[in-house]
Structure formats: structure tokens, C-alpha cells
Chains A and B, each alone.
Chain A
């Protein structure tokens, strides 16, 4: 059985152009965990750990049971504000987020539950139980590659917003990111992140 690599199979969903570009991202399955708080702080890091623990446990268990193998996709995240305020005006500690790892549709809710039970029994972080399997359709989005620190995203976002205005679209207020580079390895100024802005016509 061939190993499924969704990131490569759905290249068009992960285009990373230097100028804003419009794209359509169809319904897909994701392992997710929701939370509130500053990215990079305890709450967030704990969620990342929990999400990856479930992701790898499910993957390796399914592989062991000959249910097929797949590559764990890049981490993605959606950010929003509860009171519809623009994120940049909101204190980061109030940011709501959903961390996501795209997962093949063959993976079932029972796989997730089994993994969570096993991991919890071994005393791994309690956030394990917050990991869910969902379907999500980003639908119409504007996408662009951002190179540099997360703090400097505003300059890329400005270009994307200008594109939205020019094409008479409207942003939904949600901000999405796909983390291409490993922040432990890549110097801040060279970090690659795909910024994704869901829009409605």
C-alpha cells in the first residue's frame, strides 16, 4: 500500500506565491484542538504537543494494523477573535485558535478515541482529550507566502488586504497559517509561513 502524502497530493491547496493569489480549498479532514491564548505560550505549546501525540499515535497504530500509512501533514492554524474585532487590535492572550493537522479521510473517530484513551492512561497531557476529528472547508481564500518572523506578518497581510479590496471581495476576519518551516531550526528572518485569508464574494 502506498503511503499517502496529502501535502503533496493537494499541492494546489498549499501554493505559496510571492503575490496574493486566489484559491479554493475543498472540504477535508483535520485533527484539531481548540484553545485561547498567545501563540507560543504554555497553553498553545501544550496543545501542539497533544495534537502531535494523537496524530502520531493514530498513524503508527493504523500502520501496525495494516490500515495504510500516511505522512503527518504540516501544522496549520486558524485564528479569530470572539468579538469580531480585528486580531491585530486584540490582545494576543485573547486570541482564539484551532490548530489543525490534515488527515486522510480513512482515519476514523474511533481511532482518535482509542489513541486518546491510551495516551491519557499513560499520563500524557490532559489536553489529549480535546483533540477532535473534523471536516472543514476553507472554500474561497487568498493565499500568500510570508517569509520572516511571525511578528512581521502585517506587511504581508496588507498586500493581501489590498488584493481583497481590489477584487471586491471581503475578508471573513479569520486568519489562517500553514507552518512550512520549523521555528527551532530556521532563523526568524527566513521562516516560511503560508498565510491564508478566507474571503466571501
Chain B
């Protein structure tokens, strides 16, 4: 058990939660929150939701809704103003969201003395003004059974094609890349199929997700403008294997960051992860797909 590292992750996550509580009226960007806790902004979101079982966005939305419930019952502020204060664009949108969570419309909730305050989450982070969280038991999946290897990876030259949009639609980038490299005899042998996902699909809108389809090559060659070359940084990586459909990769990322990383002796480096695909998604059943996920680590600090 790596108590010390885990405690540090807990303390830093708690700082973020308290910061959110105190700044619910502000916009609260991920970058700002990551900075509060001194987490790498690349990976902050996954660490947070992995540890608490609730994403940053969900937590903020929920706390604002809980605060709105209190205001409804204890103040005479108009429902529209409460809605705007909770981050909704209209009282309609707010009413819908409130009803979905609390079971009744805000107007009914306001009038009813009996209606109980909505219990919006199983976690005990609640909207409060008179408490301060000092620690928590991380949300740990009892089934966490993750095999993780620490590997030293050498610099790897890759040819790549960028894709922006839903990760599901990255096939086009792969077609361009494979279609260019195949006639040159660069597929097969040790050529590795690598994906670099820059953004967390839980946080970034689908049309803005950035991805690079990469194939390892021995040297740079002249080719079309669509193909770029770059080096995948050498260094220490934690590597785990995801077995199953690409659609569920995100769940493995979540566990890897939120649970494995926070219980390990390691700290993630501020650079993106990459994935190596070990089989062909066209001819393999989704449940048999194998993907190695590489999480970059900071160099050990023997201070």
C-alpha cells in the first residue's frame, strides 16, 4: 500500500473540491482547477473522476443544483434568477434538470413543505457553507484488477495523420496513413499502429477531440502534405492492456488514472498518453480487441 502517494492525491483532490464549493459562481475551467491541485492538466480530469466516481463537470452541476434547492426553499428569489445562478440558460432548462434529479418541478418543490431535499448523489460531497472537507476515502472499485507494467520506452519516430472530431471517426485518418504507407512497403513487420488521443471525451466536445493516427517508421521520407513526422517521447511509461471494444477504452483510462495511478508511487507527466493497437478492428470481434495504453510518468525524484 502506497499510503503516502495516495494521501497526496487525496489532499490535492480535496483542495479542488473545496475550491469548487467556494467558487460555484465562477466559470471554473478544468485548467484552473488542475492548477489548484498541481495536477497535470492533461490527466487531471481522469484522476479526479477516477477517485471520486463523479466527473468534475457532474460535481459542479450537482452542487449548483443542490444550492439552488436550498435557495428555492429559503429565499424568495425568482426561479429564473435561481436558474441563471445555477448555470442554466432558462428556467425551462433548469426545471427540466431539477425535475430529472429531484423528481418534482422547482415550483412544486418551493411550495411543498414535505418535499425532501433532493439527495442527488451517493457520495457525501454536498453543497454546504458550514463545512470543509479535509479528506475522503477514494472511490475504489473492489474489482480493480489491473496489470500494469512500468516500461522505459525509447524515442519512436512515427508518420502520422491528424484527426479532429469524434474518436469514432478517426478511420479516415487511418485510411490516409495506411493508403500512403502501404505502397511504399512500410506496413507489416515491426510497424506499430499507434493512436495519440489528446483530449478526454468526457470533457471536450466531440467535434473538438484531437487525435493522431501514427505508424512507426525507420526514417523520414518525402510524401504528401497530409502526412507528418514526429517523435514519440522516450521516457518512463506505465502500460496496461485494454481488452475489448474501443468504445470502452475510456473506462480503462478512468481506472488507470483515478485508481491505479493514485495508489501507485508514480506521478503522470504533462504529455498525452498513447495507445498501441495489437489487432485489426475490421476482422476481430470487438470483445477480442487488444490495446496497450501508455501513460507517461515523471522521472523518479530521488530527493
Bound together: yes
Taking Cβ atoms with an 8 Å cutoff, the residues of A that contact B are 3, 7, 49-50, 52-54, 56-61, 63-64, 71-74, 114-115, 117-122, 124-125, 128, 181-182, 184-186
**Cβ-closest 10 pairs across A and B:** A53-B188, A118-B185, A64-B179, A60-B182, A122-B185, A119-B185, A124-B189, A60-B178, A61-B182, A61-B183
> Once the chains are docked, how many angstroms separate the CA of A143 from the CA of B87?
64
Q: How far apart sit A51 and B182, CA to CA, in the bound complex (Å)?
A: 14
Contact partners of A59 in chain B: CB under 8 A: 182
Q: Are A186 and B187 in contact (CB under 8 A)?
A: no
> Can you spell out 10 A-B residue pairs with CB atoms less than 8 angstroms apart?
A49-B189, A61-B182, A63-B179, A73-B283, A119-B189, A120-B185, A122-B218, A124-B189, A181-B288, A182-B288
A14 to B179, CA, bound (A): 30
A118 touches B288 (CB 8 A): no
Given the interface pairs A60-B182, A61-B179, A118-B183, the reply to whether A185 lies near B288 with Cβ below 8 Å is yes
Which residues of chain B have C-beta atoms less than 8 A from A117's C-beta?
Answer: 185
A115 x B284 contact (CB < 8 A): no
Most chain A CB atoms below 10 A, which of B179, B182, B185, B278:
B185
Most buried by A among B187, B278, B282, B290: B187
Distance, CA A3 to CA B183, complexed state (A): 20
- Which chain A residues border B186 with CB–CB below 8 Å? 122
Most buried by A among B178, B243, B279: B178
Taking the closest CB of chain B, its distance from the CB of A179, in whole angstroms, is 11
Neighbouring A residues of B155 by C-beta, 8 Å:
none
- Interface of A (DSSP majority class): helix
Tell me the bound Cα distance from A40 to B158 in angstroms. Answer: 30
0/1 interface trace, chain B 259-303, chain A, CB 8 Å (1 if under):
000000000000000000011101110001010000000000000
Contact B187 A57 (CB under 8 A): yes
A56 to B186, CA, bound (A): 10
Contact of B187 with A182 in the complex, beta carbons under 8 Å: no
| Inter-subunit contact B183/A185 (CB<8 Å) | no
Known A119-B188, A186-B288: A72·B282 in contact at CB below 8 Å: yes
- List the A residue with the shortest CB-CB distance to B241: A185
Q: Determine if A124 and B188 form an interchain contact, defined as CB atoms under 8 angstroms apart.
A: yes
| A residues in contact with B175, CB < 8 Å | 63-64
Contact check: which of A3, A52, A71 meets B188 at CB < 8 Å? A52
Q: A50–B218 Cα gap in the complex (Å)?
A: 18
With a CB–CB cut-off of 8 A, which chain B residues contact A57? 182-183, 185, 187-188
Tell me whether B122 is interfacial, beta carbon within 8 Å. no
| Contact (Cβ within 8 A) B179 A184 | no
For residue B7, CB closer than 8 A to chain A, the reply is no
What B residues does A52 contact at CB under 8 A? 188
- Cβ of A58: which chain B residues have Cβ within 8 Å of it? 182
Q: Which residues of B contact A60 (CB under 8 A)?
A: 178-179, 181-183, 187
* Contact B283 A124, beta carbon cutoff 8 Å: no
Encode contact with A along B178-215: 1 for CB under 8 Å, 0 otherwise. Answer: 11111111111100000000000000000000000000
Q: Which residues of B contact A53 (CB under 8 A)?
A: 187-189
| Chain B: minimal CB distance from A49 (Å) | 6
Is A72 in contact with B283, judged by CB distance below 8 angstroms?
yes
Q: Which of B182, B183, B283 contacts A74 (CB 8 A)?
A: B283
B147 to chain A, nearest CB (A): 14
Structural contact, B283 and A7, CB atoms closer than 8 A? yes
Are B184 and A122 in touch, CB under 8 angstroms? yes
**A182:B290 contact, CB within 8 angstroms:** yes
Most chain A C-beta atoms within 10 Å of own C-beta, residue among B178, B183, B186, B282: B183
Determine the residue in chain A with the shortest Cβ distance to B279: A182
B-side contacts of A122, CB under 8 Å: 184-186, 189, 218
Q: Which residue of A lies closest to B243 (CB)?
A: A185
Contact B188 A56 (CB under 8 A): yes
Q: How far is it, in angstroms, between the C-alpha of A184 and the C-alpha of B278 when the chains are bound?
A: 10
A53-B189, A60-B178 known; A182 vs B183 contact (CB < 8 Å): no
Knowing A61-B179, A63-B175, A185-B290, say if A115 contacts B283 (CB, 8 Å).
no
Chain A contacts for B185, CB-based, 8 A: 57, 115, 117-122, 124
Minimal Cβ-Cβ distance residue in A for B280: A72
